[in-house]
Amino acid sequence: MIDFELTEEQLALQETARKFAEKEMKPVAAKYDEGHEFPWDVMEKAFQAGFLNCTVPTEYGGGGLNALDTSIVSEELVMGCAGMFTTMMVNSLAFTPIILFGTHEQKQKHLTPFAEKPMLAAFALTEREAGSDAGRVQTTAEKVGSEYVINGSKCFISNGGVASLHVIFALTQKEKGTRGMSAFIVPADTPGIQIGKIEEKMGQRASNTAELFFDDVRIPQENLLAKEGLGFIVAMKTLDKARASVGAAGVGVARAAYEYCIEYTKTRKQFGKPISSFQHLAFKMADMATEINAARHLVWHAAWLLDNGKKASKESAMAKAYASDVAMKTTVDAVQILGGYGYMKDYPMEKLMRDAKLLQIYEGTNEIQRLVISHEILS
Ligand code: COS
């Protein structure tokens, strides 16, 4: 049976996230975007509201949200500010390898502290020469006695400069390629970790994106996730899950632009009548509404598969690619609908357009999503 009705709990979650976005994020979004400043005060409130560790299982102090719940919450939060949302979402991205592959002891030790105070986490996979080609990671982790010694660097790491905990992907057997990669839990205060350049981005400027350097970073062998050589699978299974959330973010960004256009076109008058009465604009908004609905259905279907333990690589990739493309198209059209006002910083549209662009790029470019989809449909 197919049921599109949300439960009482999901409706309450949706309402809480919507109010948080309206009250705590939206009013300060332009300030943090312009200042390129990290919104610690908003993150403290997000922690109090339970959004920083909402996907951590309840037995480790988190909110225990499943993928569908997370999609519902993500769609609302991103409407407040995509950059701030990314900071929160990346916590979930970094927790996922520990939730999926960690032992009880690892979860107890590394996830429980996130229930105690506002802290952030990062997922450190990307390197200069390993972006779309994630299997080309060069960072190494050498086993020395009962420790691993990590050397190398990472780039474009969301939360990289503000995280207390990193999940790092490194080669334990160089010659084995993707099968020689392993995943490690690395506290950010471990000696030898240095934060490099903090990137100046076009959009999502309230989020922190940093370079990381590892110089003889020693961690105990207990911090290895899963088994040696399984790091690439850990990364791919994590991304299968995370991409549905990026899809939800695409739906939210598109909705923010679309809802603004509905109000704007009903009040803005030209040629003596509201511009919503011009059919070319009304049809554009009809297309926006249709595409947003289609994107949400893809996201919820991917989330449903994930929640039911089914393989969802293809569906998560479809949801991520389609919804972020819809966000881009909708925000570009919305700028056009507002005309000169759309291009001005006094109106929210240009920020939404800049923010949307990153959704097509991070957590795997949309070209990579199409690669994943095409491999599955043609194999
Ligand atoms: N789940 C489980 N296993 C997976 C998997 C998945 N979703 N995707 C790949 N694998 C396995 C494959 O089955 C293969 O296993 P074997 O070695 O046993 O055959 C192994 O992983 C290697 O897979 P593949 O040959 O497909 O790897 P490629 O090097 O061709 O890369 C892509 C695959 C391009 C999909 C991957 O590199 C990717 O996702 N790149 C984008 C990275 C990204 O999203 N970066 C964003 C930054 S992190 S926020």
- Tell me how far apart the alpha carbons of residues 215 and 153 are, in angstroms, rounded to a whole number: 9
In a domain, 1, yes or no: no
Decide: helix, strand or coil at residue 31. Answer: helix
- Together in a domain, 20 and 92: yes
In a domain, 301, yes or no: yes
Query: pLDDT, tens digit, for every residue of 174-211?
Result: 999 999 999 999 999 999 999 999 999 999 999 999 99
- Tell me how far apart the alpha carbons of residues 134 and 127 are, in angstroms, rounded to a whole number: 8
- Together in a domain, 246 and 354: yes
Asked if residue 90 lies in contact with residue 123, where contact means CB atoms within 8 angstroms, the answer is yes
Query: Which token pair is 341?
Result: 């006002």
In a domain, 137, yes or no: yes
User: Would the CB of 363 count as within 6 Å of ligand 1?
Assistant: yes
CB-based burial label for 31 (10 Å; 0-12, 13-18, 19+): exposed
CATH number for the domain spanning 129: value is 2.40.110.10
In a domain, 185, yes or no: yes
* Closest Cα to atom 5 of ligand 1: 236
Query: Which token pair is 176?
Result: 């084995």
- Together in a domain, 326 and 370: yes
- Together in a domain, 346 and 222: no
- Together in a domain, 46 and 19: yes
Mutate to test the pocket of ligand 1, among 93, 156, 178 (most ligand atoms within 8 A of CB): 178
Query: pLDDT, tens digit, for every residue of 59-104?
Result: 999 999 999 999 999 999 999 999 999 999 999 999 999 999 999 9
- Together in a domain, 274 and 363: yes
In a domain, 19, yes or no: yes
Q: DSSP labels for 170-231? A: EESSGGGGGGGEEEEEEETTSTTEEEEEEP--SS-TTS-EEEEEEEEEEEEGGGEESSTT-H
Domain range for 300? 232-378
What type of residue is 211? E
Distance 5 CA to ligand 1 centre (A): 34
- Together in a domain, 373 and 238: yes
Query: pLDDT, tens digit, for every residue of 338-359?
Result: 999 999 999 999 999 999 999 9
Regarding pTM above 0.85, the answer is yes
User: Would the CB of 154 count as within 6 Å of ligand 1?
Assistant: no
| pLDDT tier at 2, thresholds 50, 70, 90 | confident
Q: Please state the domain count of the chain.
A: 3
Percent of the chain with pLDDT over 90: 98
CATH number for the domain spanning 101: value is 1.10.540.10
Residue 95 CB partners (closer than 8 Å, separation 6+): 53, 55, 56, 62, 111, 114, 121
Task: Among 99, 115, 131, identify where a domain stops.
Answer: 115
